[in-house]
Amino acid sequence: MKMNLNDYLWISEEVKQALADNKPVVALESTIISHGMPYPQNVETALLVEKTVRECGAVPATIAIIGGKISVGISANQIEYLGKKGLKVIKASRRDLPVLLARGEDGATTVATTMIGASLAGIKVFATGGIGGVHRGAETTMDISADLEELAQTNVTVVCAGAKSILDLGLTLEYLETKGVTVIGFGTEELPAFYCRKSGFKVDYRMDTANEIAASIHVKDTCNLIGGMLVANPIPEEYAMNEEEMAAQIDTAVNMANELGIKGKEITPFLLDKIKTLTEGRSLAANIQLVLNNARLGAAIATELCKIK
Ligand code: PSU
Ligand code: MN
C-alpha cells in the first residue's frame, strides 16, 4: 500500500545532493517539451537548456510525471521519450495530478504542476518560456490558466519571457495583482510579450540584478508570505520579433481557434503551433532563444539565493 508523499515523488540523486549541499538548482517544465514545440527541436532545446543551466553553475531539474510519480530531475532518455510522444502525453495541470498518480501514468507538467514538483523537492527557482494566463475573451469563457492560481499559493519563483498576446495581458496582470503575486521586470519597466520585448503594460518593479531579485525572494520566505514571484525577462534584442507582425499573426491564430471552437487545455498548444506555421518557423527560433535566456537568469538567481542562505 502506498502510504505517503514519497511514494509519489521521485528526486534524482544529483538534485537531492545539490539541494543538501545548498547548491543552486533550477527547475524546468515538460509541457513545453511535449506540447510547446515540435519534435525533434523540443528535445534538442530541452537538453540545451539543461546544458546552459549547468554552464551557469547550477543543476537543472526537469520535472515530469513518470509512471505515477512526480519526477524531479528526469533523464535525457525520459526527455527524449516525452518529446517523441508529443501531444499523446497528457498535459498535466494541478487538477490532473491525483488521477495520474493514482493510475501510475505519465504526464507533462505545466507551469502549475512544475511549481508543485519544485516546491515538494525544495527547489526555489524555475525557468521556462511563457506562463499561462487570462485568455482573451475570458470574461465569457472563464479560461484562466491554473498557472496563475499556482503562483498565488506555491512558493517558487518563475522566470519567464512574459506572456504571449494569445492572452489578455492586461487582465493577466490584474489577476496576478489580486492574488498578491509580485511581477518583476528584469532590466525593464515593461512586461515583455514573449517574442517581443514590449507589450504596452507595466511590471510592478524593475530590477537589474539577480542579486536584487534573490533578496526579495529571501524576504518573502523569511516573512512566510505565501505564493510565488514572477520574473519577466525580455527576449534578447537580436532575436526579438517585429511587434506589428506578431500582433497580426496572433490575431489570425486566435480567430482560427475561435472558428474551430477549440477550448480548454487544447487552446494553448493549438495557438503555439499555428503561430509557428504562420511565421514559417521563425517564432520557434525566437522561442528557443528566450528559453535559454531565462535558463541563464534562473541559474543566476538560484546562485544568489544560495549565497544568502
Ligand atoms: N505558453 C507558452 N508555451 C508553453 C505554454 C504556455 O508560450 O509551452 C504551456 C506551459 O506549460 C503553461 C501551459 O503552463 O502551456 C498553460 O496551459 P493552460 O493555458 O492550458 O493552463
Ligand atoms: Mn485554460
- Distance between CA 22 and CA 305 in Å, rounded? 9
User: How many whole angstroms from 218 Cα to the centroid of ligand 2?
Assistant: 31
Whether the upstream peptide bond of residue 98 has omega within 30° of 0, thus cis, is no
Catalytic residues: 29, 164
User: Domains (ranges, CATH) in the chain?
Assistant: 5-308 (3.40.1790.10)
Closest atom of ligand 1 to 111 CA is: 14
What is the pLDDT at residue 249? 93
Ligand 1, atom 10: closest residue by C-alpha = 110
For residue 62, what are the β-bridge partners? 28
Report yes or no: 65 and 103 within 8 Å, Cβ to Cβ: no
Nearest ligand (C-alpha, residue 35): 1
- Distance between CA 161 and CA 171 in Å, rounded? 17
Phi, psi (5° rounding) for residue 201? Answer: -110, 150
User: How many whole angstroms from 309 Cα to the centroid of ligand 1?
Assistant: 32
* Listed residues: CB within 5 A of ion ligand 2: 143
Ligand 1, atom 17: closest residue by C-alpha = 132
> Average pLDDT of 128-145?
96
* DSSP letter (8 states) at residue 242: P
Nearest ligand (C-alpha, residue 264): 2
What is the pLDDT at residue 120? 98
Report yes or no: 309 and 22 within 8 Å, Cβ to Cβ: yes
Report the chain's mean pLDDT, rounded to a whole number.
Answer: 96
Residue 4 has pLDDT above 90, yes or no: yes
Residue 298 CB–ligand 1 contact under 6 Å: no
Distance set, CA 279 to CA 43, 57, 256 (Å) = 21, 35, 15
* DSSP letter (8 states) at residue 200: S
What is the pLDDT at residue 69? 98
- Distance between CA 182 and CA 202 in Å, rounded? 12
Residue with cell 535559454: 292
> Average pLDDT of 116-123?
98
Closest CA to 18 of 9, 8, 26: 26
Per-residue pLDDT tens over the stretch 226-261: 999 999 999 999 999 999 999 999 999 999 999 999
* DSSP letter (8 states) at residue 236: P
Q: Please give the grid coordinates belonging to residue 39.
A: 519534435
- Distance between CA 127 and CA 116 in Å, rounded? 14
- Distance between CA 55 and CA 68 in Å, rounded? 31
Closest atom of ligand 1 to 93 CA is: 21
Residue 282 has pLDDT above 90, yes or no: no
- Distance between CA 45 and CA 38 in Å, rounded? 10
Residue 45 CB–ligand 1 contact under 6 Å: no
